[in-house]
Structure 1
Amino acid sequence: MFNKKKERNLLELVPLLANHVELQMKDGGKGVLIVQRANWAERFSIRFLKQPAFRTIQMDEYGTYALSQMKDDATVTDLANAMSAHFGEDAEPVLPRLTKFIQILESQEWLIWKDE
């Protein structure tokens, strides 16, 4: 008999920034993601083509707030509730926006999910 892992939906998962990604706050409350360039092609370009070792990605106020709220136990639902409380109606539709943002972060491998 197979051991079935309990299926969880996205709203119950806990997103965290990957180890090679850091959020730095700038003046005005907006943040910048600092992403270490670590795969072999990037290391090659850093060494031989004198490319920078880090990429910087400017975040808007919503992305900055969502990333700053990614704590050890904050689920996607917690993040959505915090964004609604902080931004009010300006954040709506908060859940579709947040899930798309999380999908983008995950596709770039800038986000990990906390282990159960």
Structure 2
Amino acid sequence: MKNKNYLDYIPRINQKWKETDKGNIELAIENKGLCNRLTQKLLCKPQISYISLDKYGSSVWKNINGKNTVYDIGQQLQKKYKDAGVELYERLTKFIGILEMNRYIIITNKRFKNRK
């Protein structure tokens, strides 16, 4: 994450999700793997867990379309939330990094987006 300039990268959604009645995003996370299957059977844990994003996270998610760079998303957030502050891009890149680390999104390099 230290060597990446997230502002030039393009995130793409890699997760099932839905928009709630309140306009927030809810991610549906499938609990896979042997350990998860065991806890599902033994402890009645669900096959799918849901993660609800707050209004800021939901705004970021809604701007992830496979075309907008992280910089573009930040610009949209600045327009929508006038009080975003000077730390907007620092927080945005951290959030994008967390989404990528958990494989909720995939990040591609802007320079190579038109290559096949």
Q: Does TM-score exceed 0.5, indicating one fold?
A: yes
The normalised TM-score by structure 2 is 0.77
Question: Across the two proteins, how many residue pairs are aligned to each other?
Answer: 107
The normalised TM-score by structure 1 is 0.77
More off after superposition, 76-85 vs 92-101: 92-101
Measured after TM superposition, the shift of residue 48 of structure 1 is 4.9
Change over 3 Å in CA distance of 1:48–1:17 after alignment to 2: farther
The secondary structure found in structure 2 opposite 1:15 is strand
Query: Percent same amino acid among aligned pairs?
Result: 25
Measured after TM superposition, the shift of residue 8 of structure 1 is 6.5
Question: 1:42 and 2:36 equivalent?
Answer: yes
Equivalent residue letter for 2:8 = E
Q: Aligned equivalents of 2:39 and 2:96: distance in 1? A: 28
Gaps of 5+ in 1: 1-6
CA contact (8 A) 1:25 1:32 kept: yes
Gaps of 5+ in 2: none
Q: Aligned equivalents of 2:44 and 2:32: distance in 1? A: 14
Tell me: higher relative CO, structure 1 or 2? Use CA pairs within 8 A at least 6 residues apart: 2
The aligned counterpart of 1:71 is: 65
Runs of 4+ in 1 over 6 A off after TM superposition: none
Question: 1:10 and 2:10 equivalent?
Answer: no
The aligned counterpart of 1:58 is: 52
